[in-house]
Amino acid sequence: MASKTRDTARPSAPGGVSFSLSDPTVRAVFYQILVVGIVIAVGWFLIHNTLDNLSKRSIATGFGFLEREASFGIGESLIDYHPRDSYGRAFLVGVLNTLKVSIIGVVLATVLGTLIGVARLSSNWLIAKLASTYVEIVRNIPPLLQLFFWYALVSESMPPVRQALNPIPGVFLSQRGLFVPVPSADPVWGMMAFALAIAVIAVVFLRRWAKARQERTGQPFPIGSASLGLLVGLPLIAYIAGGAPTALDVPKLQGFNFVGGVVLTPEFFAILVGLVVYTAAFIAEVVRSGILAVNWGQTEAARALGIDSGKTLRLVVLPQALRVIVPPLTSQYLNLTKNSSLALAIGYPDLVSIANTTLNQTGQAIEGVAMIMGTYLVISLGISIFMNWYNKRIALVER
Amino acid sequence: MTDNVHTGNVPTGSIPDERPPSNTVGPVAWLRNNLFNTWYNALLTILIAWLLFKAIPPLLDWLIFSANSFGTPPQVCRQEGGACWTFVSEKLRFVMFGTFPYDEQWRPLITIVIIIALVLASCDRRFWKPWLALVWIAGLTAVGVLMWGGVLGLTYVENTLWGGLPLTLMLSVVGLSVAFPASVLLALGRRSQLPAIRVISVTYIELIRGVPLISLLFMASVMFPLFLPTGVNFDKLLRAQIAFIMFAAAYMAEAIRGGLQAIPKGQYEAADALGLNYWQAMGKIILPQALAISIPPLVNTFISFFKDTSLVIIIGLYDLLGTAKAALSDPAWRGFYREAYLFIGVIYWVFCYSMSKYSQKLERDLRRGHRR
């Protein structure tokens, strides 16, 4: 930074107030007023024109339209939705769909990206070359082109609904997506969820106890397998206690489409695979550079202390690599979330696509775009706050 | 030197030349070191080799051996399987130039050549001189004349007819060259000591970076007409171009801010000590260094920006991806999406890959310059 004092170093003439532009303080104020003035003037010009245009075209303003009936269908939604519902609810469906694809996408992209990043550093020549080929190809092709490709792969190569492939009984694969049977609703699912919640709480306390014990006595506790046992075991006990229901909700061809079961639509498949494949290439580079940033001497030192390679990775290399990895990883998560708006191009009903339909139907462009931008700003902010908190937690504590 | 002191326990005379042990050099050793060094690597090698063996022959078969060469009608292609390269030869001019009048398509072709030549020339550090800016202005003027026409005996072509690769190149090149000066100002504004200017810059940059490009394109296509006084109207292409400039400026500003932050404090103090004012200090001392440091991240921004031009398809412009998709909607050629996407994928890839290789080379070169 330039020295803080430069613009204020020369005090204005004592006694009288000088308005000369050669006075740095006056100049600073002058420039700021100038810039703010220009911004306000431009803003006023735009707002004035907009209001003028809106009244001429007699377009309503305000968010009152959110209460009105949406009267358009949405292909897939996490909550109940009907065309008779309001625009507000339709938009909520879109937000949930965006969150769904982003969260699943972030998890899968992290897993795939980490695998590929580590593979690029493999001592196995074949694996390293294959991983770097993947990275070089995928990240140099526009994501939208990749989405179109994945979408076409399902919608053009799969048979129509009538001739759906039926590889396993109850599973159908067609242009309309992959239909799989799911266990039908039963009170036991609620009990299992409750058991899982108890298991999570138990694991938290167990970890705390195990850590305290290790600090007191030096005895390590097999926390990994114990937690796994609790998390799987308790729900399983609840399931068996509830009578172990095996009824399935099997998809059936009804009219023009399958009904029942769970569907992986081609739109969701394309947007998810596209985002994961694309973002994983970038995450792979982030992971690779993070691992390379850890001095090899750290690994050697750990070996010299007799720490085995799994623990070296977990306790020595990874904590240091994460410091380098987390900030750029955050931007990749944000990118994935923002890129999920490409869903519009293939018809997955994310928030942009639903807001777009809304603004086309109501003509309320400003509100529509403001809702898209506002939602993304909130999501971006949320991810940054969480990742910054995590980053601070793992940051190097120095003197 | 002091060798003679120690010769007591060192054998005198030269050791006869020997070949290195056979297990450290040669193809067998390479295989052992790179593919079979541990049991799990050996297992993985065999697994991957088997997968490649399963995947590559059918792929090559589709691409080359069973592919239908140029001229086979689509019906025959459908029956025979294999890639149908007729699609590419048949639709080549549409995919490359969109709906530009057929007889005039030499004009967008020359446009492509001019833009690529300009970019290539700018990649050579020997040409980084002030006159390069003049060359750019001349080149872009020529591009405008060629595309629009209406002068020099060229027929006028509305820009709603533009499409394909020239549109992709023009959107990115014009967008970047306008966004660059804006981004320098934004980056300086973000690091300014004047709070009002800093707040405005930070707000702008964070606002644009926090939303997806699509929402900016929407804003351009549905809101810009409302922003303007009644009667004034921009066409769709210009509106998209403005959205791209706004977007690119925010991202490039962050790349340049990184460069500015890397300049040691002493450089600012030295500029102060010389009595330079703000613009002299920035223009003569800080920015030249900061921009040199920011070039690699800037090139990365260029790459992502080049890929993002494909989004104009969403507001109904036909860039390279748009024309390919339009070509696919021709009923006679439905279903040849693999050929279409492979073809334009290769075009995008060549541009982006060469830019990324260039940025890596530049990074090495510039680092060499800093080494003492």
Out of A137-141, A304-308, B87-91, B314-318, the most confident range is: A137-141
pLDDT band of B344, cuts 50, 70, 90 = very high
* B132-150 mean pLDDT: 87
Cβ distance A50 to B35 less than 8 Å, yes or no, reads: no
pLDDT score of A160:
80
pLDDT band of A398, cuts 50, 70, 90 = low
Residue A353: half-sphere exposure toward Cβ, Cα within 13 Å: 24
pLDDT band of B369, cuts 50, 70, 90 = low
Residue in this structure with the two tokens 């750290």, named with its chain if needed: A298
* From A46, A127, A381, residue closest to B44, measured CB to CB: A127
Average pLDDT, chain B: 84
Which residues in chain A are closer than 8 Å to B214, comparing Cβ atoms?
341-342, 344, 352
pLDDT band of A4, cuts 50, 70, 90 = very low
Which residues in chain A are closer than 8 Å to B215, comparing Cβ atoms?
341, 352, 369, 372-373, 376
Best mutation target, A61, A125, A286, to test chain B (most B CBs within 10 A): A125
DSSP reduced 3-state for B364:
helix
Q: How far is B170 from chain A (nearest CA, A)?
A: 17
Nearest CA in chain B to A381: B210
Cβ distance A144 to B321 less than 8 Å, yes or no, reads: yes
Cβ distance A2 to B35 less than 8 Å, yes or no, reads: no
pLDDT score of A5:
43
Which residues in chain A are closer than 8 Å to B38, comparing Cβ atoms?
123
Q: How far is A142 from chain B (nearest CA, A)?
A: 5
CATH fit for domain B85-363, picks 2.30.40.10, 1.10.3720.10, 1.10.357.10, 3.40.50.10490: 1.10.3720.10
| Contacts for B60 with CB less than 8 Å, ≥ 6 apart | none
Buried b (16+ CB within 10 A) or exposed e, B196-208: bbeebbeebbbeb
* A387-391 mean pLDDT: 80
What percentage of chain B exceeds 90 in pLDDT? 22
Cβ distance B35 to A124 less than 8 Å, yes or no, reads: yes
Cβ distance A344 to B214 less than 8 Å, yes or no, reads: yes
Contact B151, B98 (CB under 8 A): no
Cβ distance A156 to B335 less than 8 Å, yes or no, reads: yes
Supply angle C-alpha B292, B296, B301, rounded to 5.
120
* From B34, B45, B352, residue closest to A140, measured CB to CB: B352
Q: Going along A44-132, which residue ranges are E strands?
A: none
Supply angle C-alpha B42, B45, B49, rounded to 5.
145
Which residues in chain B are closer than 8 Å to A342, comparing Cβ atoms?
214, 311
Residue scoring higher pLDDT (A276 or A53): A276
pLDDT band of B243, cuts 50, 70, 90 = very high
Cβ distance A140 to B272 less than 8 Å, yes or no, reads: no
Best mutation target, B188, B214, B268, B359, to test chain A (most A CBs within 10 A): B214
Rounded to 5 degrees, what are φ and ψ at B326? -65, -40
Q: What pLDDT digit, counting tens, does each position of B16-32 carry?
A: 777 777 667 777 788 87
pLDDT score of B204:
92
Give the C-alpha separation, A142 to B306, whole Å: 8
| Contacts for B280 with CB less than 8 Å, ≥ 6 apart | B271
How many C-beta neighbours within 10 Å does residue A137 have?
Answer: 13
pLDDT score of A257:
73
Q: How far is B311 from chain A (nearest CA, A)?
A: 7
- Tell me chain B's radius of gyration from C-alpha atoms: 28
Residue scoring higher pLDDT (A338 or A3): A338
pLDDT score of B248:
93
What percentage of chain A exceeds 70 in pLDDT? 93
Distance between terminal CA atoms of chain A? 24
Q: What pLDDT digit, counting tens, does each position of B41-95 carry?
A: 888 888 888 988 888 888 888 887 777 776 677 777 777 777 888 888 888 888 8
Residue A387 has pLDDT above 90, yes or no: no
Which residues in chain B are closer than 8 Å to A33, comparing Cβ atoms?
196
How many C-beta neighbours within 10 Å does residue A231 have?
Answer: 16
* From B49, B210, B310, residue closest to A377, measured CB to CB: B210
Residue scoring higher pLDDT (B15 or A269): A269
| Contacts for A378 with CB less than 8 Å, ≥ 6 apart | none
- CA of residue B220 relative to chain centroid, distance: 23
- CA of residue A344 relative to chain centroid, distance: 17
Residue A6 has pLDDT above 60, yes or no: no
* A188-194 mean pLDDT: 83
Which residues in chain A are closer than 8 Å to B45, comparing Cβ atoms?
124, 126-127
Q: What pLDDT digit, counting tens, does each position of B171-227 carry?
A: 999 899 899 999 999 999 998 888 889 999 999 998 998 899 999 998 888 888 888
- Tokens for B145, please give them: 């004349």
Q: CA A326 → CA A135, A291, B233, distances in Å?
A: 20, 12, 45
Q: How far is A48 from chain B (nearest CA, A)?
A: 8
pLDDT score of B246:
93
pLDDT score of A146:
94
pLDDT score of A3:
44
Q: What pLDDT digit, counting tens, does each position of A17-60 carry?
A: 556 667 778 888 888 888 899 999 999 988 888 888 878 777 77
Which residues in chain B are closer than 8 Å to A28, comparing Cβ atoms?
193-194
pTM recorded for the entire structure? 0.84
Supply angle C-alpha B244, B248, B251, rounded to 5.
150
Nearest CA in chain B to A149: B341
- Candidate from A271-275, B80-84, B119-123, B336-340 with smallest mean pLDDT: B80-84
Nearest residue to A80 via CA among A101, A102, A104, A96: A96
Contact B175, B311 (CB under 8 A): no
Q: Which helix (H) or strand (E) holds A113?
A: helix A87-120
pLDDT score of B348:
94
Write down how long chain B is. Answer: 372
Which residues in chain A are closer than 8 Å to B352, comparing Cβ atoms?
139-141
Nearest CA in chain B to A371: B215
Residue B370 has pLDDT above 60, yes or no: no
pLDDT score of A103:
93
- Tokens for A51, please give them: 């209001």
pLDDT score of A291:
87
Residue A274 has pLDDT above 80, yes or no: yes
pLDDT score of A284:
94
pLDDT score of A108:
96
- Tell me chain A's radius of gyration from C-alpha atoms: 28
Cβ distance A2 to B272 less than 8 Å, yes or no, reads: yes
pLDDT band of A282, cuts 50, 70, 90 = very high
Residue B202's identity, in one-letter code, is V
- Candidate from A264-273, A296-305, B37-46, B312-321 with smallest mean pLDDT: B37-46
pLDDT score of A9:
44
What percentage of chain B exceeds 70 in pLDDT? 94
Residue A190 has pLDDT above 70, yes or no: yes
Average pLDDT, chain A: 83
